[in-house]
């Protein structure tokens, strides 16, 4: 009587399957890490943009001297946690008046006045804001 041979996987096939699964798992983990890194970077940039916009509210366009402000000075918030967080954020403000430009319009001349404000948040991010004013 002939013994029936059972069909099974060889050791080489199992090793190849384990290697393929390992490569797929490593790729998925790396993708997850990249996504977390990009999400954290986006959150930091978004927060700094919010801080820049808030700091811009407290800038007087007519003053050209450089100054340092803290964000809790710009707005009064009722939330103590938010006020404590903003108290620690220092913004360096540099106002610069750019050249005026005369624009002739029919019977009169308009003057375009441009002010550039550079905001630097804790030496991390610089943001430039421009103000345009037309004067008759």
The string of pLDDT tens digits covering residues 8-43 is: 889 999 999 999 999 999 999 999 999 999 999 999
Q: Which backbone phi and psi does 129 adopt, to 5 degrees?
A: -120, 140
**Where residue 54 falls among pLDDT bands split at 50, 70, 90?**
confident
Number of alpha carbons in the 13 Å side-chain half-sphere of residue 9: 8
What is the pLDDT, as a whole number, of residue 25? 97
CA distance 136 to 134: 7
CB-based burial label for 52 (10 Å; 0-12, 13-18, 19+): buried
What is the pLDDT, as a whole number, of residue 3? 67
81-131 residue pLDDT tens: 888 888 888 888 888 888 889 988 888 888 998 888 899 987 678 999 998
What is the pLDDT, as a whole number, of residue 1? 58
What is the pLDDT, as a whole number, of residue 4? 74
Tokens for 57, please give them.
């509210």
What is the pLDDT, as a whole number, of residue 20? 97
Q: What distances in angstroms separate CA 17 from CA 2, 11, 13, one per listed residue?
A: 32, 10, 6
Per the document, the length of the chain is 136
Which has the higher per-residue pLDDT, 95 or 62?
A: 95
Q: Is the pLDDT of residue 64 over 80?
A: no
Q: Distance of alpha carbon 23 from its chain centroid, rounded? A: 34
């Amino acid at each position: 009587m002939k013994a029936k041979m059972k069909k099974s996987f060889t050791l080489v096939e199992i090793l190849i399957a384990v290697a393929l699964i390992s490569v797929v798992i490593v790729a998925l983990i790396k993708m997850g890490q990249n996504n977390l890194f990009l999400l954290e970077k986006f959150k930091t940039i978004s927060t700094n943009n919010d801080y820049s916009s808030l700091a811009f509210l407290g800038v007087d366009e007519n003053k050209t001297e450089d100054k340092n402000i803290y964000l809790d000075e710009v707005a009064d918030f009722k939330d103590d946690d938010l006020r404590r967080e903003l108290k620690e954020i220092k913004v360096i403000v540099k106002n610069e008046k750019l050249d005026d430009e005369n624009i002739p319009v029919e019977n009169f001349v308009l003057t375009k006045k441009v002010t550039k404000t550079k905001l630097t948040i804790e030496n991390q991010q610089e943001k430039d804001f421009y103000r345009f004013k037309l004067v008759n």
